[in-house]
Amino acid sequence: MRNYYIAGNWKMHKTRAEAAELAKALAAQLKDGKHKYLVAPSFTALETVGAIIKGANIRLGAQNMAAEEMGAHTGEVSVLQLKDLGVQTVILGHSERRHVYKEDDALINRKVKLALKHGLEVILCIGELLEEREAGKAEQICETQTVKGLEGVAATDLANIVIAYEPVWAIGTGKTATPEDADAIHAYVRKVIGKLYGAAEAEKIIIQYGGSVKPENASLLMAKENIDGALVGGAALKPETFVPIAKFA
């Protein structure tokens, strides 16, 4: 039985004081929550938030990391630095990293393997652009990103891999894939995992949905057989919108 996993990606929002206020509210309001939870603040707020949620039922996540452990990489943040701050999970391959900052599958794969080597959980994001969906290529794009993202990853490491399907056209646009559309892609990705690692591993892997998840649609999405949680963007920035998603009935 897969457990639901609800993650909040705060993106480039919140000063340390604002992040602290949100973290305190979530720690208090989710303490009796039954699912697995994560928040991913900006790098500048990781230490602040980490101290607040320490001992709570909320994991500390980072939104990205460098593909190298250390060295002359101006502006990058290393896996060693993240672990030093208590980070447990890293989000990799987010559509904004892929399409705005031009990170390709090979770079994302290097990051995935480096994070796993250092014991971090990875949320690997996949998803198609609107023109790719309209051209009938959604499954093909998601399969390629999954296969290339997991290249060289052993079956023994899959316990630390979460897939997040985020149709790029539904991120921050207010548009949401219908629960049926989302579930169809989740089911397809689960088949891809099955081809790579076997049916048992495919059945175990958590696949989140990301793309304008709101309190109003969370229960409908989570009711689908292959949707195991959510990677939440805008609605993660306020307790009054994130908590109802995190505690969906």
CA distances from 90 to 18, 32, 111, 172 (A): 21, 24, 10, 21
From the list 54, 43, 53, the residue with the least C-alpha distance to 11 is: 43
Q: Which two tokens stand for residue 107?
A: 């770079």
DSSP 1-53: -PPPEEEEE--S---HHHHHHHHHHHHHHSTT--SEEEEE--GGGHHHHHHHH
Q: How far apart are CA 71 and CA 96, in angstroms?
A: 25
CA distances from 101 to 35, 98, 113 (A): 32, 6, 20
Query: Hey, is 81 helix, strand or coil?
Result: helix
Q: Is residue 37 a contact partner of residue 246, using CB atoms and an 8 Å limit?
A: yes
Pairing of strands 36-40, 5-9: parallel
Q: What angle do CA 182, 187, 193 make, to 5 degrees?
A: 125
User: Residue type at 147?
Assistant: V
* Residues taking part in catalysis: 94, 166
Q: How distant is the alpha carbon of residue 142 from its chain centre?
A: 15
